[in-house]
Structure 1
Amino acid sequence: MIQREPTATKQNVDTDSYAEVLQVEEPDLMADATDSGAVMHRSLHEQPSRVVASEGLYLHLENGQKFLDATGGAAVACLGHNNPIIKKAIMDQLDKVAYTGTIFYSTQAAEELCSLLIRGTNGVMSRAFICSSGSEANEAAMKMARQYFVELEGPETKRYRFISRQQSYHGTTLGSLGLGGHVLRRKIYEPMLSPSISRVSPCFAYRGKRNEEKVDDYVRRLAEELDAEFQRLGPETVCAFVAEPVVGAALGCVPPVPGYFAAMKEVCERYGALFISDEVMSGMGRCGYLHAWQSPMVDVKPDLQTLGKGLSGGYQPVAALLVSKKIVGVMTQGTGVFSHGQTYQAHPVGCAAAASVQKVIMQPGTMEQVRQLGNALEQGLKACLADKWYIGNIRGMGLFWGIEFVADKLTKEPFPPEMQVAAGIHKLGMQEPHMISLYPGTGSVEGTRGDFVLLAPPYTSTLQEIDLIVKTTVSVVTSFFEKEKLINSKHPQ
């Protein structure tokens, strides 16, 4: 901060007098610094609770309350809060250099992080571009896909379109918002969003697969839909198909059915388009594998991959775009320059934090532990809630689970949006005696209806903590439906 000279009558002011003058001259400056009314919060109608400390799975508020953070924010805090190893890595980097312009310099922190990320793909990916958010990573992926075809020259330069999926979420910037299919988040910005993006049905077996359909038939139908969309647009104009391996915020932890992604990739390859895997929420161990595409449920290698959230575990704002050998090879033989850049890309402190997080995640046995804890979470939730009349579906992978609520279990009819079931469950969870944070979501039905909550505990959780999360979640959910008097003769407990 630049300090301005204080006003004084004497030409020579001693140190004590100087400090005293500053204190008198700007008495309200520090008072304003703690005024939360200056913050543009998510809502202007509600004041969020102020966190003053954290440790492990818990957040401590200024009023003395302690919350069980069962979601790590938005599936971010994969190693819990206040991890001393990550904090030390950040401080060590600050002792070296806090910022460098990547136009001129590189740092050991950036090179180490990128090396870790590429090694984690077993050589499938070749380079990593580090930025600050998942939205930025998906914007970069779109630009990289377009540039790849421009570098190929000839007829490939006609490619500029993208195909994503309905009820998907890829970010909040105009490009990434346009790429996604989250109806409610897109609504007021529709006139500003790109018309070069279209959408096909998601792989959502609970609501999309017909009762009489076998899984193979369902996959075939979705593949035919994607093929038809290529044909409608003109295959020579499509850059890529973009999808989340496990859909998080838009649908509530929806995994694919076996064979789905292999079928989608086959369609892409048939028409020469790329496959972009958005693992901002589901990647970096969240689904029980370092990369969700490495799981048996996905088992398809992407051409481009985006990462975020669990990449740095929330200790710094960090996201990434991983680029396959095929794309890097074409660009290397061409311009050799990615026509994209950002002030804070490969930020040294962010890279140091993310590298430290990845070293913990990549330790032998960590992914197996995530899968074991995930099994315990799944079994606990299903044992206590699956038979309730208001539970439609419990789904997920690893430590990434969603619970969808329905007004009618047989027809899968959702609750009316005005009831705000998911928001109500979240709000109740934040109250005594529950004191748990559950991630609420809507839009699992046609993008506008359908309520669910997400659970995404840290990978470092214990079985006892998972059991506590299950018991508390069950308590919140059952208490909500009792409190709202939704249980009646038609829907017995």
Structure 2
Amino acid sequence: MLGRSTSKMPLSVGRGIGSQVPLRLHAAPSSRLWQQRTFHQMGRTSASAAASPVPSTADSSEPQSAVLHRTLKSAPRQVTSGDGKYLHFSDGHKILDSTCGAAVACIGYNNQRVKKAMLDQMDKFAYANSMFFGHPIGEELAAELVNGTGGVMSKAYIMCSGSEAMESAMKMARQYYMELSPKQNKRINFIARESSYHGTTLGSLAMSGHVARRSLFTDMLLPNVHRVSACNAYRGMKPGQTTEEYVAQLANELDRKFQEVGPETVCAFVAEPVVGATTGCVPAVPGYFQAMKKVCEKYGALLILDEVMSGMGRCGTLHAWEQEGVTPDIQTLAKGLGGGYAPVAGMLINHRVADALKNGTGAFSHGHTYQGHPVGCAAALEVQRIIREENLLENVKKQGELLGSLLHKHLDDHPYVGNVRGKGLFWGIEFVADKESKEAFPPSAGIAAAVHSKGLNNLGISLYPGTGTKDGVVGDHVLLAPAYTSTKEEIEEIAMKTKQAVEQAFNGLRTA
């Protein structure tokens, strides 16, 4: 039974959160992830259940939206303007965007330099057919990105979304081996991690370990992705286990998975340096990625690092892998690349991969109509120049240390906060029903949604909610991803209001 606990403060499901006070669910769990998960948990597979209409929360007298929103159960708030770090809504509400949307708007909204760069490019031309033509702005962006790696990476490939970037990385890994030798044609498998998220297209979703987002489409997903445990010190380390022992355990697991799948059939090991939305900013322990890369090298496989959410400065260095003592063969990036000014993402390949293509067919067997879109490139280039020229990475480090220390100060002792973790300006808070056993709340409690709601509606900040934190089914967290330009005063405000949102959420989930 969910909620069983062995601590001194047992959770009584449906009666109280760590007490005998009856539980009242004031905040409806509106999270899309919660909806997807509970759809299956509630067994809505019968004809009668599927046919039962759910009344819309929107006023029937109001005009109905023609947009297929994330949910059709209620109308979303309408953003009317954004300026700096603030968003304004049609109902007069205003928030300090403490998550940059989905860790995207890293330099804030309405930046005049970026707007001008995009307009200047549109005045020249807005589109070029990448099948036949290149353009200067694309060359400049690629050079900026490669230079940002110290020349470790060789080529940049620009697309529109992180999911596209992962699809490209998968195909690039396969083609790399085919370029080396036709005898490498057995390499079709990938090894990824549990509790990962790499995108929402069928290929990238197959790579993902996100239970809720996979659930409807499991039978359609690729069968050639295999899984090992995530690196999650809070959930994965055994009592008394050292970091070195934990790393060795995970390296041995990866080695065994290579042996199980067939070493000669594996293209790559795929991982996020800091896991974002699925588990809430979980960094790897020291030495982990060095050990994983050593296993990959043992079997001649590539290392693909997904930095769609954690990269481009979010963790305090331009690339999160700079802190791990490794370099990837292929890297994906997106959110902080263009700061939300255009839909833009990218894939970087190192010299090993680029040379294989150059010495072989000379062409990547892949393509998109809007790859290398000139206006997107202009936006991304200006965002990256601002980050570099205004030395924003130093501010991310400085303000990130402050944010982390304040979150620990405010929340470590809270009875239902299990873990506070993160890097740079990328921090997560995991909630538990029992601190000793680390037992999660039942999904019906809607904890993450409640914290998000209190922050948004009562305190004017954004707290990105996530569920399935523990095992893909149960568990709650929220994450913070403030702008790289955040000041000390703003970080202090965000930390205090996060504390208040957590307190109000748990107080609101009890009866008066």
TM-score, structure 2 as length reference = 0.87
Separation in structure 2 between the aligned mates of residue 154 and residue 363 of structure 1, nearest angstrom: 46
Work out the CA distance in 2 between the residues paired with 1:437 and 1:255: 22
Query: In structure 2, what is the equivalent of residue 16 of structure 1?
Result: none
Max Rg structure: 1
Question: How far does the alpha carbon of each residue in 1:413-438 deviate from its partner, in whole angstroms, 9 at most, with x for none?
Answer: 11111111001111222213x12111
Equivalent of 1:470, from 482, 491, 495?
A: 495
Shift of 1:104: 1.5
Size of the aligned set, in residue pairs, is: 451
Task: Please show how residues 404-483 of structure 1 align to structure 2 within 5 Å.
Answer: 404-432=430-458, 434-483=459-508
User: Which of the numbers 290, 293, 301 marks the counterpart of 1:265?
Assistant: 293
- 2-side partners of 1:139 and 1:240: how far apart? 13
- For structure 2, list consecutive stretches of 5 or more residues without a partner in the other structure: 1-61
String of CA shifts for 1:265-306, please: whole Å, max 9, x gaps.
0000000000000000000000000000011xx121000000
> How much has 1:472 moved relative to structure 2?
1.1
C-alpha distance in 1, partners of 2:511/2:397? 35
**Partners in 1 of 2:109 and 2:238 — Cα distance?**
43
Which protein, 1 or 2, shows the higher relative CO under an 8 Å CA cutoff with sep ≥ 6? 2
In 1: Cα distance, 2:266 partner to 2:355 partner? 20
SS for the counterpart of 1:396 is strand
Structure 2 CA distance, aligned partners of 1:109 and 1:466? 35
**Aligned-partner SS, 1:137:** helix
Alpha-carbon shift at residue 109 of structure 1 (Å): 1.1
SS in 2 for 1:194: coil
Q: Hey, what does 1:112 align to over in structure 2?
A: 140
Does structure 1 residue 334 correspond to structure 2 residue 360?
yes
SS of aligned partner of 2:192: strand
- Cα RMSD (Å) of the superposition? 1.2
Give 1:173's aligned residue: 201
Output the CA distance in 1 between the equivalents of 2:83 and 2:454. 23
Q: Distance in 1 between matches of 2:64 and 2:432?
A: 37
In the other structure, the counterpart of 1:28 is none
For residues 286 and 306 of structure 2, the distance between their equivalents in structure 1, rounded to whole angstroms, comes to 18
C-alpha distance in 1, partners of 2:384/2:404? 25
1:40 corresponds to which residue?
Answer: 68
1:306-359 deviations in Å (ceiling 9; x for gaps): 000000000000000001100110111100010000000000000000000000
Give the match for residue 249 of structure 1: 277
TM-score (norm 1): 0.90
Structure 1 partner of 2:26: none
1:355 is aligned, of 358, 364, 381, to 381
Determine if the alignment matches structure 1 residue 305 to structure 2 residue 331. Answer: yes
SS in 2 for 1:460: coil
**Alignment partner, residue 384 of structure 1:** 410
Give the whole-Å Cα distance in 2 for the aligned partners of 1:180 and 1:85.
36
TM-fit CA distance, 1:211:
0.8
CA distance in 1, matches of 2:448, 2:376: 33
* Larger deviation, residues 332-341 vs 441-450: 441-450
- What residue is the counterpart of 1:183 in the other structure? 211
Moved more, 145-154 or 312-321: 145-154
CA positional deviation for 1:85: 1.0
Structure 1 partner of 2:21: none
The answer to whether 1:400 aligns with 2:444 is no
The C-alpha deviation readout for 1:231-263, integer Å capped at 9, x for no partner, is: 000000000000000000111000010000000
Structure 1 residue matching 2:292: 3-state secondary structure: helix
Gaps of 5+ in 1: 1-33, 488-493
1:62 and 2:90 matched: yes
1:95-174 to 2 correspondences below 5 Å: 95-174=123-202
- Which residue type is aligned with residue 439 of structure 1? Y
Distance in 2 (alpha carbons) for counterparts of 1:399 and 1:158: 41
Determine helix, strand or coil for the equivalent of 1:42. coil
Quick one: distance in 1 between partners of 2:471 and 2:420?
A: 19
Q: What is aligned with 2:14?
A: none
Query: Which of structure 1's runs of 4+ aligned residues deviate more than 3 A?
Result: none
| 1:154-196 Cα deviation digits (max 9, x unpaired) | 4322101000000000000000000010011100100000000
1:13 corresponding residue in structure 2: none
Could you tell me which of 344, 349, 355 is aligned with 2:370?
344
**Residue among 221, 233, 250 paired with 1:205:** 233
